[in-house]
C-alpha cells in the first residue's frame, strides 16, 4: 500500500487558499489542479509499504509524535518544483519554526525506517509545502507562482500527524489510516 505521513490543515485555512487559487485555475491548460480535500503538508512520503509493517509503523510514528510539540503553521507564498520556469509541481509554502518542523519530519522518517518502511526520498532536504497542481511536462509556472507569492493565510496550531494511504488513478484519493497527537504542552514549556 502507498503511504505518507502528513499534517492536515484545518478547513478554514484550506478555504483561504482555495479562494486565492480559484482565479488561477483556468490557465495553463496542461496543469492538473489537486482537490482541496487532498491538500496536506507531507512530513514523510513512504511509498509502497507492506501491510505487515503497519503495526510496528504505528508504534514508531506514535513515539515520534510524542517527542515533538504542536507546530504553529501558516500557508504563505508559492513556488514550483524543480523551478518556476520549468515547473512540474506548483506549491504553496509553509511558514513555521523550520527547525522544529524539520525535526518532526526527520523523526517521522527515522521511525518509518526503523519499522521497515524507509522513505525513498530520505536524505533529501525537507521542503515543507502543499502541492496545488501538477503537469506531466515541464511548464513555465513563473506567473502563477508570482501571483501566489504574496499569499499569507491564517496561522493554526497542528497538534496531530496522520498516516495516510494514497490510491492513484485519474483522481488520486487519500484515506486516513491512523492519527497521533503531538506532545501536549506542559506548564514548564
**Residues known to be catalytic:** 40, 129
Name the grid cell of 138: 515541464
Q: 37: which strand partners? A: none
Report the residue count for the chain: 189
Task: For the beta carbon of residue 100, count every other beta carbon within 10 angstroms.
Answer: 14
Alpha-carbon distance of 53 to 64, in angstroms, equals 16
Indicate the burial class of 3 (C-beta count within 10 angstroms; 0-12, 13-18, 19 or more).
buried
Amino acid at each position: 500500500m502507498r503511504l505518507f505521513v502528513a499534517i492536515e490543515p484545518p478547513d478554514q485555512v484550506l478555504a483561504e487558499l482555495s479562494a486565492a487559487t480559484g482565479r488561477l485555475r483556468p490557465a495553463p491548460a496542461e496543469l492538473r489542479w489537486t482537490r482541496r480535500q487532498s491538500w496536506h503538508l507531507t512530513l514523510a512520503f513512504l511509498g509502497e509499504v507492506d501491510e505487515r509493517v503497519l503495526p510496528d509503523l504505528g508504534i514508531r510514528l506514535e513515539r515520534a509524535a510524542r517527542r515533538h510539540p504542536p507546530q504553529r503553521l501558516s500557508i504563505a507564498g508559492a513556488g514550483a518544483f524543480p523551478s518556476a520556469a520549468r515547473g512540474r509541481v506548483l506549491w504553496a509554502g509553509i511558514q513555521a519554526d523550520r527547525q522544529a518542523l524539520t525535526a518532526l519530519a526527520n523523526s517521522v522518517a527515522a521511525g518509518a525506517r526503523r519499522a521497515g518502511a524507509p522513505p525513498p526520498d530520505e536524505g533529501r532536504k525537507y521542503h515543507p509545502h502543499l502541492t496545488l497542481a501538477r503537469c506531466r511536462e515541464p511548464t513555465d509556472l513563473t506567473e502563477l507562482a508570482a501571483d501566489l507569492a504574496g499569499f499569507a493565510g491564517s496561522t493554526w496550531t497542528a497538534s496531530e500527524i496522520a498516516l495516510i494511504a494514497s490510491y492513484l488513478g485519474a483522481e488520486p484519493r487519500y484515506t486516513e489510516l491512523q492519527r497521533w497527537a503531538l506532545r501536549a504542552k506542559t506548564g514548564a514549556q
